[in-house]
Structure 1
């Protein structure tokens, strides 16, 4: 490997010319396969003559190779690994400051894999770098390496690491305290050396890593605890040097000195307990008086600690005397909006919304901590703290009523309103002594702010008003003012945050009768505006508002449905394209919070699309139009393997096919996309989500599946991947694949099923044999056995032939006999009845040749038991469906909707339903026995929890099982009296009456 040529390759990757870059990248891919490549990279990194950009390109490439290939099965030559380990530390020492952080993941990867067995001298090499405190590059590198060694033990408990870690702590942690103490004692003179605050951070990190999950025994000693608490406190109390204080306040948190102080804050406060409360309050006092600067992160930890202490009886006595000061001198000033925040309101409203109304809780900001503190005070110390908090906010707002609407007054009102928002839930609860006063309070001191000239205050007014949506208003005038204020905010197109909060307020008050009636007259333009707003803000909250509108005004919005779906699909596609771009790019190029917001917004739109779809459930024609609109979105998710949205995509496919009872050409195209995406993804993670959609394809697309061998092979290939355990599949995955196999077989006929039945039967037998010990429950056995039973229904010849060839007839039939007394689901009962009828329909001569005629009496008995149980099961399933339809206020699902079949068999379905009712009634009135005693007499397990999904459709839903049985039994009775006699030979008189009643009712 030639260092010069490798240098040219890395230089080429930095060129503006795309052709040169591509050529250089190809050359690097070839070069990395040669022995000595990593050593040459280290030569480049250690060369003083090579430009820094080239070194950075080389280091990033080097890092990626190490991370991807260092472990045992990687492509790195084992002879080259010792060279890398030997040279790595010296390379870090002499590297540029801007590149040192890139070495961290490299160190981490090698240490996790190789220490201590393959890199036993790492610790000695690291600690030798501590020897000369004047060589700051070596000292910094030593601390960097030492902290990464400590990181290795971060997620281990003491019993798993003490043999290695305890000796390291005993030997070297005192040195860390000594080095850190020297830096702290002379922080002013240390300011000229960038390494020193970084070393301080690394010392704190080392301690944090080894104490993260468990406190090592050497650090449990009283002296060690005292020393390390003292060190953390000393870091917290460092007077920030001039390099930090000279920075603009908004940028000061970037100083390494400030970062070093942020780290010890939560640890110190935890250890110091009640003593820390007084010290924390003292620090806040100094901060309030301008004598001390505290970073937002440190302030967050101090306030959060106080909040936690509020809940403890021992510490509440310390906090209580300071309660009023905490409200007036801490909460109010922190809620008072800064200039920088108000600049965002005008210049970057999206960021303002994210910071102020949406993701604030995820950030370690003082505002978040104060909000939590006030809320906790009001909830946990209600009797003592709620009234003083309310009185302060009331007094502040009341004192400002006569003031001009200036920016300063608006800021004070904003702060006071935020305090009210924190305690709102306590004010409106049933037992609150203040509840009856709240309407007057809102009317006098909150609602007037709807007319403020300052948009941020109008937005806050909407926000706080929404928190009182559970309040029962008595004065219609107040409701009128509220509605007008909310709608004015919503229509404020000049200020996005105001419009955003107006939209959320619409959702909060949409159930108020007066509000709902007034909004109904303008719901279409309101929804259109919500769609525009949704496109302007990456948030899942606005789609949720749209969803509420659709749910409450479905009739008014139905004509708008096509346009609504189109706009939602357009917005969703835009978000998906942006997320796909981010997924394909370097993670460092995208903000994680922004990506999270976009993901949540996309999920929200998916949910709204589904809501719109469900409101067209009674119009297959309209759904056909809708699916053409949203199909490209579903295709994009599947084609780009955006697995974060697979569940939502499959849910859309499931509901589209369910509501139309049909599979259109568009849906078949998406079926192909689905199979490809599932096979390309981690099937163990996605099969569960895809199951309802795939089953619907087998139910409503059976005629196409029956004739399309490519679809058959693709589906069978997928389930066989699970059966063969070609991946990390759990028992649930196996059951899903088995249930899907059953549906596939039932969609076929004997000719098309023939090539697959032997393989599926053999696999099912294997799974029942090998996994029975681990899966003792009936559910697993039922679902696996159903594959064989479905094969017997559709292709009895191949099924029985396979059972005989594998010597499995006796074992399987014995299992089936047991399961016939365990079924709960209508589908399982119907399937076994059909399987028994299929077997009993085979002529006696063929059964005798296979030596299977001996099972006929038992199968006749099983048939009767199942026919006895199935009417009650059908009745209970219909009741479940009716109950769910009755409780689903917005999506009423009728019996016709559930049991209909595109109108093709409506008369048949009506007859089926009447027959089911007749049979259930016969059971109740003594026509035949259905009580639990009878069922238990024949072995039924009445405590089985294998429930049936009332919304699920199966291939046997429209099968009139009683008519099928009647036709069979009458035919056998007329054509083969010997077989008939064998079938009924084990039946008692009561069971014979059951058969007679079924035949009689099915004949009417």
Structure 2
């Protein structure tokens, strides 16, 4: 069809009289012909939009109706490939923003895909990425707000495209260099006066600063993920070397100028500053970039990092106006990812840890600040902040470690009496970071603990109390001697912590309470109920607030974990557990009744703690909240696990649950017993890889057979026998014989599994090579200016991640060594015995108990012997129709019953210290055996 004809058809769609006929003839839309009138082009766009809206998806035809029209896949592909390029080639900028948003969403859909799954995206970007670059270059010269907003959207597209995978087949080195130059120019260019006019809180949201932020995002990500030799996967090794030599120097020069501006008093947005410091932190590891950075580093530490880490006017305003918000901001883990203060702390730590002379120069500067009597409190705060950030490094250096006692006495302890709350908080913070220090003077440790406890209990400022609580937890973690100093006030401390938790909803303080409960279980038992009630009330309070959903979830989870800790440590005190249960039940019911699914795992852990020893009537009501029909719920749970591919470990637990129900609930589940047994029997018909699952299923069958034998024995020994039983008398003993044959096979199969497992464990215990494997822990030495930091372990991890995923189920032989490491920890794992019972084995049923006097073989023999002497007519009715083979089997059952009785007696005497010849006992027993055949 000729183009002019199409134009006439589009013009006709404007006329109501010709619209239907024109649309019926249109096969495709011509929108972007420059020589078309605007009304015609708009008509084409509207027609295309309507066509896509109504006919994009394939639809099934209704019965008797023709197949509805839908765009062919080739047409859809053409539209997808063309629509964005049409927008980008549009000279009218008003259409660009929408196209860039569309392109961004397209890239976002593939952002987390594997490289092999990004084929369609790369095909589209082969066409679109060059056009996107041309648009960015065209816009760079225009500093207007609309232009910069479009530049930002283009940078976001490039970042999403390259954040996790850098497609070198799509982005050549030449194209990569072009994008790096775009980012460099964006970071370096000055902003117009309009970008500095609003208040500082509003400026980061302006397009000029956001554009710089995204340019820095790209620069840092390219360096950190693809441009750091020794820290990248092998496919980027060559690229990393090329990047480091080609771009790092030029980019560092630009970033150093950004920091020079900040030092000179120019305002820089927090995120721009953070990303700049992140880039410098990455540069510390490489000799090439460190040579550029080294001359500037002392000035950066003094004029950039130190002010950032000092108490600021903004901090003071927030502390004074809203201390609760101050606590939330300072302890927000998400805030750390975007905070320039955290970036400054990381850069300081990296440079002092990895590069020679930096620690010494930094400590000289900090010492001068601390010893100068004219130092402002905010500056002293910054100095202590920097000292605490270097704590792990200082503790490893004897020169500094030997002076720490004096550091505390002269510069930290006096701040606990400061009239400025932030200095008291900083003193607590320093003790927190130096808690691992081995105090040489006992009085210094005692003073540190007393001051921390005093700040926690009596300070007027809530942020100080929070910092003191966290410092106290660290001291308990690392200082064994601290426990005796804290114990006299532990109840008061616990109650104060509950008040702080209620007031701040701070997760870190919740962790302090967990630690306190674990360490002082006996001392806190009298107030355990009060503690639990506080935690439960705070949990409900947190759930009822709508603000900060992420933080709310973390805090609520911490509260539930603290309640679980309380239940765990009070487990051996049943009186306390009974008092705790009603309060915990309120929490459980609140979550279940309101379907707060994110806390189901924690709530189920609480239910486990309350039901591990016994199940109260109220706890059964909790089960009814989950499933009202108890037995059916258990059956469905086990069926779900045993009939689907859920893994043999959960299947073993399901089979164990079936056995427990059969034995614990006998006489109450008679109608359901066949269904339960069928589940275990059916599972045995499929492949079973582990002996544990096979054993568990066999135990279900054994339990069922045992109960059948015991039930029939009870039935035939009843004095008043129902007519139906008398009528079925000839079939009772044959049925019992069949049951015993099944038991014999089941016992044999179980014994074979046990023998095979024991043999497997014995062979597994024979380890070739060194009997005392050791572990090599790398020691990071300081790097010279011409040395790079190579992350061999991290690189190997990145390269082998996919292989490990494939082989995660296979065993690995690891030979490692430990050198010059003294482990003085008392880990509970050191008490592990390889022959300890598993969770499944440790749970016993009534028939598993050592003192259980119920044995199905002995019970049957006893009943038959009694019937023969006391009711011979009934005995004859039961045995008169037995075949010769059945009589033989019956005799074997009686012999086995005597052997089992003899074995039990022998074990009993042996436990009492005596010895008995089993064969003699069996012989004596056989002489007294009644001939029932």
Cα distance in 2 for residues equivalent to 1:177 and 1:123: 17
Query: Is residue 982 of structure 1 aligned with residue 892 of structure 2?
Result: yes
> How much is the aligned-residue C-alpha RMSD, in angstroms?
4.2
TM-aligned CA deviation for residue 419 of structure 1: 0.5
Q: Structure 1: how far apart are the matches of 2:381 and 2:452?
A: 17
- Mark the CA change 1:517 to 1:736 in structure 2 (over 3 Å): closer, same or farther: closer
Aligned to 1:923: none
Distance 1:306 1:602 in 2: 37
Aligned to 2:503: 536
CA distance in 2, matches of 1:868, 1:146: 64
Matches within 5 A, 1:928-943: none
What is the aligned partner in structure 1 of residue 351 from structure 2?
377
The reply to whether residue 719 of structure 1 matches residue 638 of structure 2 is yes
The Cα of 1:415 is off from its aligned counterpart by 0.7
**Counterpart position of 2:198:** 247
**How far apart are the structure 2 equivalents of 1:333 and 1:526?**
35
CA 1:862 to 1:481, structure 2 compared with 1: closer, same or farther past 3 Å?
closer
Separation in structure 2 between the aligned mates of residue 551 and residue 418 of structure 1, nearest angstrom: 30
Contact 1:151 1:209 (8 Å CA) reproduced: yes
Q: 2:616 aligns with which of 650, 664, 668?
A: 664
In structure 2, relative to structure 1, the CA distance for the partners of 1:244 and 1:795 (3 Å cut) is: farther
**Distance of aligned partners of 1:240 and 1:655 in 2 relative to their CA distance in 1, 3 Å threshold:** same
Alpha-carbon distance in structure 2 between the residues aligned to 1:227 and 1:256: 22
Q: 1:156 to 1:668 in 2, by over 3 A?
A: closer
Contact 1:354 1:360 in 2 (8 A): no
Relative to structure 1, is the Cα distance of residues 237 and 316 closer, same or farther in structure 2, using a 3 angstrom cutoff? Answer: closer
- After TM superposition, give the deviation of residue 576 of structure 1 in Å: 3.0
Conserved 8 A contact 2:710-2:860? no
Q: Does structure 1 residue 128 correspond to structure 2 residue 86?
A: yes
TM-superposed deviation, 1:605: 2.4
Query: Equivalent residue for 2:423?
Result: 457
- Partners of 2:292 and 2:894 in 1: how far apart? 85
1:183 CA displacement: 1.6
- Counterpart of 1:521? 488
Matching residue within 477, 501, 522 for 1:555: 522
| Contact kept? 1:303, 1:369, Cα under 8 Å | yes
Distance 1:866 1:574 in 2: 53
* Alignment match of 1:294 (pick from 268, 284, 300): 268
Correspondence 1:581-600 to 2 at 5 A? 582=546, 590=547, 594-600=548-554
List per-residue Cα deviations over 1:524-581 (Å, max 9, x = no partner). Answer: 2222211111101122222222233333333333322232222222112222333xxx
Residue correspondence of structure 1 range 177-326 to structure 2 within 5 A: 177-187=133-143, 190-191=144-145, 194=146, 196-269=147-220, 270=223, 273=244, 274-276=248-250, 278-290=252-264, 293-326=267-300
Deviates more, 1:778-787 or 1:384-393: 778-787
Contact 1:410 1:457 in 2 (8 A): yes
Return closer, same or farther for 1:337/1:711 CA change in 2, 3 Å cut-off: same
In structure 2, how many angstroms separate the alpha carbons of the residues matched to 1:184 and 1:218? 27
8 Å CA contact 1:170, 1:218 repeated in 2: no
Residue 864 of structure 1: how far off its partner (Å): 7.9
Which residue number corresponds to residue 665 of structure 2? 748
Deviations 1:304-323 (A, max 9, x none): 12222223344333333333
2: CA distance, partners of 1:567 / 1:170: 61
Say if 1:504 and 1:176 are closer, same or farther in 2 by CA, change over 3 A. same
> Per-residue deviation at 1:855?
6.4
SS in 2 for 1:471: coil
**Residues of 2 paired with 1:736 and 1:767: CA distance?**
13
3-state SS of paired residue (2:627): helix
- 553, 557, 575: which is aligned to 1:621? 575
The structure-2 alpha-carbon separation of the partners of 1:566 and 1:230, relative to structure 1 and needing over 3 Å to count, comes to same
Deviation at 1:435, TM superposition (A): 1.0
Residues 314-353 of structure 1 mapped to structure 2, 5 A cutoff? 314-353=288-327
Displacement of 1:373 after TM fit? 1.5
1:645 equivalent in alignment to 2:555: no
Task: For 2:740 and 2:706, locate their aligned partners in 1 and report how far apart those are by CA, in whole Å.
Answer: 18
Alignment check: 8 A CA contact 2:698 2:750 kept: no
Residue equivalent to 2:101: 144
Per the TM alignment, residue 392 of structure 1 is displaced from its structure 2 partner at its CA by 2.0
Separation (CA, whole Å) in 2 of partners of 1:769 and 1:183? 70
Sort the Cα spacing of 1:244 and 1:662 in 2 relative to 1 into closer, same or farther, 3 A: same
Q: 1:604 to 1:520 in 2, by over 3 A?
A: same
Name the CA shift for 1:597/1:298 in 2 (closer, same or farther; >3 Å): same
1: CA distance, partners of 2:217 / 2:707: 67
Q: Deviations over 1:936-967 (max 9, x none)?
A: xxxxxxx9999513995343486227754597
In 1, distance between residues paired with 2:308 and 2:460? 27
TM-score by length of 2: 0.69
**Unaligned stretches of 5+ residues in structure 1:** 1-65, 87-113, 583-589, 677-709, 800-841, 873-942
Checking the alignment, whether the CA contact within 8 Å between 2:643 and 2:683 is kept in structure 1 is: no
The normalised TM-score by structure 1 is: 0.64
Matched, 1:421 2:388: yes
> 1:854–1:541: structure 2 CA closer, same or farther, 3 Å change rule?
closer
Q: Residue 451 of structure 1: CA displacement?
A: 2.0
1:380-529 equivalences in 2 (<5 Å): 380-381=354-355, 383-399=356-372, 402-403=373-374, 409-429=376-396, 432-510=398-476, 512=479, 515-529=482-496
Contact 1:973 1:980 in 2 (8 A): no
**360-369 or 954-963: bigger deviation:** 954-963
Q: What is the CA distance between 1:283 and its match in structure 2? A: 2.5
Does the residue aligned with 1:220 lie in a helix, a strand or coil?
coil
How far, CA to CA, are the matches of 1:979 and 1:202 in structure 2? 86
How far, CA to CA, are the matches of 2:78 and 2:669 in structure 1? 62
Question: Which whole-Å deviations, capped at 9, do the CAs of 1:100-152 have from their partners, x for residues lacking one?
Answer: xxxxxxxxxxxxxx99885641332332223332x222122222222222333
Which of 336, 339, 349 is 1:365 aligned to?
339
* In structure 2, distance between residues paired with 1:854 and 1:783: 19
In the TM superposition, residue 261 of structure 1 has moved relative to its aligned partner by: 1.5
SS at 2:200 equivalent: coil
Output the CA distance in 1 between the equivalents of 2:59 and 2:542: 38
SS class of match (1:177): helix
DSSP 3-state at the match of 1:434: helix
Distance 2:210 2:398 in 1: 44
Q: Is the 8 A contact 1:219 1:225 kept in 2?
A: no
Structure 2, unaligned runs of 5 or more: 1-52, 228-242, 713-730, 760-832, 866-885, 915-933
Q: CA 1:742–1:521 in 2, change beyond 3 Å: closer, same or farther?
A: same
Greater RCO (CA < 8 Å, at least 6 residues apart)? 2
Q: CA deviation at 1:300?
A: 1.4
Secondary structure of 1:960 counterpart: coil
* Partners of 2:861 and 2:894 within 8 A in 1: no
> What is the CA-CA distance between 1:743 and the residue it aligns to?
2.4
Instruction: Count matched residues.
Output: 718
Mapped partners of 1:314, 1:305: distance in 2:
14
Pairing 1:767–2:683 present: yes
Going from structure 1 to structure 2, the CA distance change for 1:553 and 1:165 (only over 3 Å counts) comes to closer
2:389–2:433 contact (8 Å) kept in structure 1: no
Partner of 1:50: none
Over residues 303-349 of structure 1, what are the superposed CA-to-partner deviations in whole Å (9 max), with x where a residue is unaligned? Answer: 11222222334433333333322321221021123322221111121
Q: CA deviation at 1:1000?
A: 5.5
Kindly tell me: are residues 794 and 330 of structure 1, through their superposed partners in 2, closer, same or farther at Cα, counting changes over 3 Å?
farther
Q: Do the aligned partners of residues 475 and 197 (structure 1) sit closer, same or farther apart at CA in structure 2, a change above 3 Å counting?
A: same
